[in-house]
Amino acid sequence: MSWPLAYAKQARADLIARNRLLERADLPQCHQLHFLQMACEKLCKAHLCGSGVDAEVLRRSHAFVESVLPVIVREHLARQTGQALTNRGWVYRASKQYARQIERLAPAVTGGGSVPSNCEYPWTGPEGAVIVPAEHNFRFDFLHERGGRTLLKIIGAVADRLIHLHSPQAS
Amino acid sequence: MDRSKDAVMKRLINAHFDIEPDIDLIVELVGADEHGRDESIKLLEVNRSTTTDGIRPIHFGADAAHDIPFPSIIVEVTPAEFARVKSEELALPEGWQLGRQFHRPAMAQGIKS
């Protein structure tokens, strides 16, 4: 199995797991956000591997989502319309904002120390308080912000497309 | 505040008409066990600006901050895809059917609860 295919399949598995978590009203948001961050990171790695980047280099790194996810979205939009962004430019712009937030959910990405919050490990907040991800409001609102649902749909669609693209029977 | 599933669904519909100017129609999706305790609110949203990617249910958890005590599932489709759903060329997930339709209100007053 190729690395692009493997990353894309795992991204899709992470998204499916996220959906299962969302069915439980009593679970903190950190868990479903963790799976979203992992899915997006793997999707970006699938895209980069497919473009020729060394998989071993990617395996050790985590800071891709902010720069690569918008590119993935832009390419997906271009495939849809057959041309550069049309009146869907706002989707691309929204994806840049979300991508930045999603990347910072990873514990290894701290925004140079300015963003210690992450969806996995406790961190030291203002005034030295220890903050627990399970009790933290990450202020993600895909349901009530413009473009949130569209972005999530695109993420799933791209995962499926990359799986199809890199599957042996597709070649 | 009315926290019945129907009232919450209508508040969510109004919210989406407010934030997404390119949605003209939202359709309730009805499952086989719609009155089940844990059954999600399900909406099909016809959005002129969304991508053509088929039927992709997007899941959301309950959202206390917005008074949404139920999980929800949103299916965004283009107008062309909605036409294919109505003609059954494009299948909804098993057991789901199109329910009530909610058109964008003419004035900024929202659909009635």
DSSP secondary structure of B12-53: HHHHHHHH-TTEEEEEEEE-TTTTSTTPPEEEEEEETTS---
Percent of chain A past pLDDT 90, that is, above it, reads: 58
Count of CA atoms in the C-beta half-sphere (13 A) of B38: 7
Select the residue from A88, A139, A143, A151 to test the B interface by mutation, using most B Cβ atoms within 10 A. A143
Q: What does the pLDDT read at residue B69?
A: 87
Contacts of A18 in chain B (CB under 8 A): 59
Count of CA atoms in the C-beta half-sphere (13 A) of A113: 0
Residue B90: exposure state from Cβ atoms within 10 A (0-12, 13-18, ≥19): middle
Residue A24: exposure state from Cβ atoms within 10 A (0-12, 13-18, ≥19): middle
3-state secondary structure of B74: strand
**Of the candidates A23, A87, A144, which has its C-beta nearest B71's C-beta?**
A23
Q: Which residue has the higher pLDDT, B107 or B80?
A: B80
Q: What is the pLDDT of residues A69-89, one digit of tens each?
A: 999 999 998 888 654 445 678
Measure the CA dihedral B85/B91/B97/B103, to 10°. Answer: -30
Select the residue from B43, B50, B70 to test the A interface by mutation, using most A Cβ atoms within 10 A. B50
Q: What does the pLDDT read at residue A85?
A: 47
Residue written as token pair 């591997």? A49
B113: confidence class by pLDDT, cuts 50, 70, 90: low
pLDDT at residue A54 greater than cutoff 50:
yes
| Distance separating alpha carbons of residues B44 and B58, to the nearest angstrom | 10
From the list A61, A37, A38, the residue with the least C-alpha distance to A49 is A61
Q: What is the pLDDT of residues B57-73, one digit of tens each?
A: 999 988 887 888 889 99
Average pLDDT of span A60-70: 88
Q: What does the pLDDT read at residue A89?
A: 81
Q: Given the DSSP bridges, would you call strands B72-77 and B41-47 parallel, antiparallel or unpaired?
A: parallel
- In chain B, where the domains are located: 5-103
Q: What does the pLDDT read at residue A3?
A: 94
Average pLDDT of span A130-156: 92
Average pLDDT of span A21-30: 87
- CB of A34 within 8 A of CB of A21? no
* Interface membership of A23 toward B (CB under 8 Å): yes
| Those residues with Cβ within 8 angstroms of residue B43's Cβ, 6 or more apart along the chain or in another chain | B9, B12, B13, B16, B26, B27, B28, B29, B72, B73, B74, B75
pLDDT at residue A25 greater than cutoff 80:
no
A139: confidence class by pLDDT, cuts 50, 70, 90: confident
Q: What is the pLDDT of residues A96-115, one digit of tens each?
A: 999 999 998 988 766 555 66
Percent of chain B past pLDDT 90, that is, above it, reads: 65
The CATH code that applies to domain B5-103 is 3.30.460
pLDDT at residue B52 greater than cutoff 90:
yes
User: To the nearest whole angstrom, how far is the Cα of A36 from the nearest Cα of chain B?
Assistant: 12
Instruction: Supply the mean pLDDT for chain B.
Output: 90
- CB of B104 within 8 A of CB of B23? yes
Angle at B44 between CA B39 and CA B50, to 5 degrees: 135
Average pLDDT of span B82-101: 96
| Distance separating alpha carbons of residues A89 and B5, to the nearest angstrom | 35
